[in-house]
Amino acid sequence: MAEIIQLAITGVALGSIYALIAFGFGLIYTSVNVVNFAQGDFAMIGAYFMVSLELGARLPWWLALILAVLLAGACGALFQLLIYQPMRRRPRNFLPVMIATVGASVFIEQIFLVIYGPVPFQLPSIFKAQTIRLGGVSVYPQYLVIIGATAAMMALLRWFIEGTKLGKQLQATAQDADAARLMGIRVARMAALTFAISTALAGLAGLLIAPLYTVTSTMGTSIALKAFAAAIIGGFGSMTGAILGGISIGLIETFGATYISGTYRDAFPFLFLIIFLIIKPVGLFGEKVSQKV
């Protein structure tokens, strides 16, 4: 029993990481109709910024964390300016933009490889203790940090999107960009904001998961792929969907790796995705996307 609880916590923590990135995928997709294939690289960017700020500049962890997330978001805004904006004016812009994000992804990874070198970095967990005991279960504290930070971030975002005028303008732009322009909403700024939020989420995910693995220039790739699966399962654009999709992928990966085969741990989420798509092709909360005109 203790083992199952332990694995469940691990799964939910991993799933939180996927949920953060999955919601970012959905946010960009519902706003500007593009899948950003460089999303995972912003997880890597967040982790490297954390390395520089926490290990390099020796800032306190909480300050390093806030700055790294903000910087990842700033990189996202720059990314949309350099990649999305020039491409979106093309006729049939859907494909050129997406292919440009694939190209940008490779470019970003190479740049960080050049800057930080090929040797992986190790980020310390925020808590020094290796494990803490909750009841009869011993838990790696970073998992609890991940779950807590994700919950806080999602709550903050929900408030922003549903409770502020700027959040409503973001939604209005996603629903009908031309009508939004006629209202005076600066849609280019909304696109920049959308990318900034999405990539900040990815950055947070990257620096949260980094202490469990190592920081390398390609660390974002497999995380983003599973997050993409989570976004499809949850339905693009729905926060609840992203969370449920992320957590289900995290649990399936963790339990599959432990009880079936550790070698195939990356295969289970996608096997689940395929089965899921056969049963429910629009995702759990697909209606939010179809509301877009």
Residue 213's SS3 state is: coil
The encoded tokens of residue 275 equal 């089965």
- Residue environment code for 120-155, b if the CB has 16+ CB neighbours within 10 A, otherwise e: ebebebbeeeeeeeeeebebbbbbbbbbebbeebbe
- Do residues 174 and 292 make contact, with C-beta atoms less than 8 angstroms apart? yes
CA–CA separation, 130 and 47 (whole Å): 20
Residue 89 sits in the site that holds another protein (CB under 8 A): no
Q: Is 179 in the site for another protein (CB under 8 A)?
A: yes
Backbone φ/ψ region at 117: left (φ over 0), alpha (ψ -120 to 50), beta: left
Q: Which of 119, 165, 263, 278 binds another protein (CB under 8 A)?
A: 165
The reply to whether 172 sits near another protein by the rule CB under 8 A is yes
Instruction: Select from 100, 180, 205, 257 the one that contacts another protein (CB under 8 A).
Output: 180
Which residue shows structure tokens 């994700």?
150
Residue 186 interacting with another protein (CB under 8 A): yes
* Closest CB to another protein among residues 3, 178: 178
Residue 136 or 184 with smaller CB distance to another protein: 184
DSSP secondary structure string, 82-133? IIIHHHHTSTTTHHHHHHHHHHHHHHHHHHHHHHH-SSPB-PPPSSS-S-EE
Six-digit token pair at 154? Answer: 């999602």
User: Shortest gap between Cβ of 224 and another protein (angstroms)?
Assistant: 27
Q: Is position 125 an interface residue for another protein (rule: CB under 8 A)?
A: no
List 33, 52, 175, 258, residue binding another protein (CB under 8 A): 175
Told to check if 181 binds another protein by CB under 8 A, we report: yes
Of the candidate spans 3-11, 48-56, 112-120, 165-173, the one that interacts with another protein by CB under 8 A turns out to be 165-173
Nearest approach in angstroms of CB 234 to another protein is 18
194 binds another protein (CB under 8 A): no
Dig out the tokens for 239 from the structure.
Answer: 């926060």
Residue 113 in the binding site for another protein (CB under 8 A)? no
* Residues binding another protein (CB under 8 A): 165, 168-169, 171-172, 175-176, 178-187, 288, 291-293
